[in-house]
Amino acid sequence: MKYVLEFLQFRLIVFLMILIVLSGTGVGITYGSSLTWLAIAGGIVLFGLIEYVVHRYIMHELPALLPKAYEGHVAHHQHPNDDRYLFGSVWYEVVTYPLLLLLFWTLTGELHLALSVVFGTVLCQMYYQWKHFVSHRPIVPLTPWGKWLKKKHLLHHYLDEHAWYGVSNPVMDVVMGTNKVAPDAKAAKRSLDSSTENM
């Protein structure tokens, strides 16, 4: 319970909870489409894509796109357990979610479907944020799935930062071939392990 309360105190998490309530309420109030669940699922899939693309390209490979976000992520890699660098700025989400709503409202012509996409996306982002938080706290996940995700994220931090970009799911890593560490990273790990065994 201690870590749940800690998780809930971060501004980004508070913002996402408010967004879940607002978009979920909006979906309920405007309900009337047979495509509601498809749109929610689409939002979940969309976040999976965003998670991978942002983490791999903006946070690692193309720092010039969003230099401040990149700098924050570098600090997170340098201090992975420091909660100052555990979450991104809430301002990125404050800008992104209204744009996402407008984009899907324009594409679908229905506020209800746009709200459904936003609802699915923000639900998935909250799941992502929790999985990321658990990876950097002394929490033992309850399920084999949770333990596996934590292990892969820690491999990303401590073995090969160019592998395992998906924090909440491995699908895009499998598709893009980033679901395994590079051979030279494995060799470096073995060398480090053998040198520390004699200490």
Could you read off the pLDDT of 16-71 as tens digits, one per residue? 999 999 999 999 999 988 999 999 999 999 999 999 999 999 999 998 999 999 99
Q: Give the model's pLDDT for residue 157.
A: 93
Q: Helices in the chain by DSSP H: which ranges?
A: 2-8, 11-29, 36-53, 67-78, 90-108, 111-135, 144-158, 171-176, 183-197
pLDDT (tens digit per residue) in 86-134: 998 899 999 999 999 999 999 999 999 999 999 999 999 999 999 999 9
User: Collapsing DSSP states into helix, strand and coil, what is residue 117?
Assistant: helix
The pLDDT assigned to 195 comes to: 38
